[in-house]
Amino acid sequence: MKKMEVLMSILLIVLGLVCLTMSGSMMFQQDLSVYIKTFVQICLWMGVPILLAGVSYLLLIKKRR
């Protein structure tokens, strides 16, 4: 992939996270601390499965060698 394609995909992912966080935090209170707390929770819920999949993939590759 070219640098521009990587940049655009990262930008779209970040924009999606911001929209998801905004809609999740505006249901309760309109405060910056609620927004940041919701953003961290969303990133953790997305990060844990990705991290587990990555570790299991690396272990699978290491086991095959």
9-59 pLDDT, tens digit each: 989 988 988 888 888 777 777 788 888 888 888 888 888 998 999 999 999
Q: What is the predicted pLDDT for the residue at 18? A: 86
Which pairs count as long-range contacts for 16-25, CB under 8 Å and 24+ apart, including other chains? 17/42, 17/43
Q: Which of 23, 26, 10, 18 is nearest to 43 (CA)?
A: 18
Domain coverage including residue 43: 3-64
Tell me how far apart the alpha carbons of residues 23 and 17 are, in angstroms, rounded to a whole number. 10
Total domains, the chain: 1
